[in-house]
Structure 1
Amino acid sequence: MRIEQYHITSDQRNFIVAIAKMDGDEPAYEVSYKGKKVYIERNLGYYRNLAQAFQAIARDMLQNGAGPIMTVDDYAERAETIETTLAAAAREYGQKLREAGNEARR
């Protein structure tokens, strides 16, 4: 799942959050020897569940977002923007999972 420059993957035990290096507004990538696009990423961390992964993304977005936070109103505005972004991503991902489940039942 991608949320802006953040990428969430999972293995058997963890949800892994990575941050893509940005080239302007788009994630930077390199072409691998097999000709595939591979994003240039660094790991933010490993988390036990998706909620913790979302919290880590929110914390990083708040700390490293666009521009400095100078007032409480700036903080509240950025927090609301982050909440909206993550909620939209969760809804979209949930919808994809439901659709995949419906396709599997057919």
Structure 2
Amino acid sequence: MMLTEEDVKRISSLGYRNFYYEKDGFLYLRNVNGKCVFLDENGLCKIYEHRPEGCRFYPFLYDPDRDEIILDEDCPYRDEFTLENEENLKKLVLRILKERERRIKEDKQ
């Protein structure tokens, strides 16, 4: 799951550390054994009220390799969802892309 800088700040303020990593300028939520680091033993989100913005759109994800919004093939319930607010997801993707671009520029300086 891609994260915004605001997601990282919000979750960090709860005391969590090492829950994300950076790859190719994108910030990603860590997985443990193929599942989100914040899922408990019952599969429930431990930070639901503070979850990343992208999680609110799950199982819809942005695929940077294809530059499009896709359904997560790992979600067993993916066929039960419809994208109700595509415009808000597009805005989130644009923000993530702008943040990535800025991070890449900063790293080159």
Question: What TM-score range do you get, normalising by the shorter chain?
Answer: 0.3 to 0.5
Greater Rg, structure 1 or structure 2? 1
Q: Which has the higher helix share?
A: 1
Instruction: Provide the TM-score with structure 1 as the length reference.
Output: 0.38
Structure possessing the higher relative contact order (Cα contacts under 8 Å, 6 or more residues apart):
2
Q: Which has the higher strand share?
A: 1
Instruction: Provide the TM-score with structure 2 as the length reference.
Output: 0.37
